[in-house]
A = this chain, B = another copy of it.
Amino acid sequence: MSSSTVKNLTFEMRPPPPKAHLHKTLPDSAFPKGFLLSGTHVGIKKSKSAEDLGLILTTSPAERTSAAAVFTQNSFAAAPVRVSANVLAARSGRGVRGVVVNSGCANAVTGQKGEEDAWAMVRAAGEVGNAAVASTTSSSPAGDNDEANMLVMSTGVIGVRLPIDKILSGIQALPSSLGSSPAHWDSVARAFLTTDTFPKLRARTFAVTHADGTQREYRLAGMSKGAGMIHPRMGASVPTATGLHATLLSAIMTDVHVAPKALQSALNYACARSFNAISVDGDMSTNDTVVVLASGAADALEIDEKDNESFIQFRDALTDVAKELAQLVVRDGEGATKFVTVTVKGTKTYDDAHTIASRISTSALVKTALYGEDANWGRILASLGSLQELSAPIDPSRVSVSFIPAQQQNGTAPSDSPKPLLLLHNGEPQPLDEAHASSLLSQTDIEILLDIGLGEESAQYWTCDFSYEYVRINGDYRS
């Protein structure tokens, strides 16, 4: 910004609330078996204490592992996205040894050289992975020695080459620091971060009832990153394109033994209800990637789609973790002071409900009103009315809109919590109790409920408000 025109201006504003409590310390027992991890600083990020390179390896035999991923549908998909899709397809989801990730540079719009850099990361990490596996499982060969067995993720600024020498040296130095403690998981979660304010790591155990009647317990742990350029729309394939910016990234690990096709199917289902249902600023990134790695390291029976019960139990557990990781991205949205759930029901199709929820979640006017805690609900309707791509046209006389207090969003409403506030009922505005609206809108968690009145389908979306801090962060991202 040219300094001659810059002034210090003072605003009365609500700063983003503290978010450090969202960084959780998890017990050793919550993490899946069969993984080694390390996060380190190699000098991509300026701050020396900030991890900017991470490696996640499974030490299981190749034939027990499976991997699945969803990638950005952006025409300018970045080099690491295209390379990872290539590795995954070439291996049909079997024997993927792990994921190497860097933050600070997105390796996007970097041309042919950028693609070579992404491949170099894959090979260097593959070498480290193969050696680590050979040393930890000397009695049985852990898999093939092909080095093109790693997925790669990058996030950061666009249009700039990776400092590839630093990264390759960093990867070669990783073996000494690999481990499986909660601190190792935490350090990799930190290696994903850019403008994020806390590492996003979650883990849980879940039970599966197998076809033979036995019930077994497994583990799922994952990390996500993202704060800006968040409006993912990911799919299992990548547009054929050459390469852009930063981004939703997530890696989820589990110790179930699951067929690659079933894993991809479970991820597609989970992603639609989690990462593809969040928006910070409406801008889709070139690097969005979610990877799931299954080590099969638990004493596990294989899960596949044919055994419906065990598959659905796994898929739902994966969806819950994905939803939690996706929602953490929104809670850490750039400048966010509010966590907003947009629930749309009463549409003829799921796609209509998703489209409406997405549109409202990206309206600058709705989001600034939420920041201002202003019950300007007319903006919600203007945004809804602007949609012309719905399968069934909106009938304004059937539309109802309410604000729902956060305490009722998980079904537990303490007796002193505010009541829901009906703003519009079948197209008729309701008298607005400003004190009631104010008590709802002053909460950090807000839910907007729209009933379209045309059918039985519904969808949910999660978004945040639009604050001064968002403008500050993005007005000068590169410096």
Q: Residues of A with Cβ closer than 8 Å to B?
A: 1-2, 5-15, 73-77, 106, 108-111, 157-159, 228-229, 231, 233, 239, 241-245, 281-286, 362-365, 368-369, 371-379, 381-388, 393-397, 424, 427-429, 432, 438, 442, 466-468, 470-472, 474-479
A7-B13, A374-B477 known; 14 new pairs, CB 8 Å cut-off, are: A73-B386, A75-B394, A75-B396, A76-B384, A109-B378, A109-B427, A111-B427, A111-B428, A158-B381, A245-B379, A286-B378, A374-B478, A468-B471, A471-B471
Q: How far is the CA of A157 from the CA of B379 in the complex (A)?
A: 10
A394 to B: closest C-beta gap in Å: 4
Residues of B within 8 A of A5 (CB): 14, 442
Contact of A364 among B7, B283, B286, B383 (CB under 8 A): B283
Partner of A241, one of B10, B73, B396: B396
A10 touches B8 (CB 8 A): yes
Which 9 A/B pairs are nearest by Cβ-Cβ distance? A158-B378, A372-B475, A368-B474, A76-B385, A284-B386, A74-B385, A75-B385, A2-B442, A75-B394
Complex-state Cα separation, A137 to B388, whole angstroms: 47
16 A-B interface contacts by CB (under 8 A): A1-B12, A8-B13, A9-B15, A74-B386, A76-B382, A76-B394, A77-B385, A109-B424, A158-B382, A159-B432, A245-B378, A283-B365, A283-B386, A284-B383, A372-B474, A468-B472
A283 contacts B382, CB within 8 Å? yes
Contact A470 B368 (CB under 8 A): yes
Chain B residues with CB under 8 Å of A239's CB are 393
Which one of B14, B242, B474 lies within 8 Å of A1 (CB-CB)?
A: B14
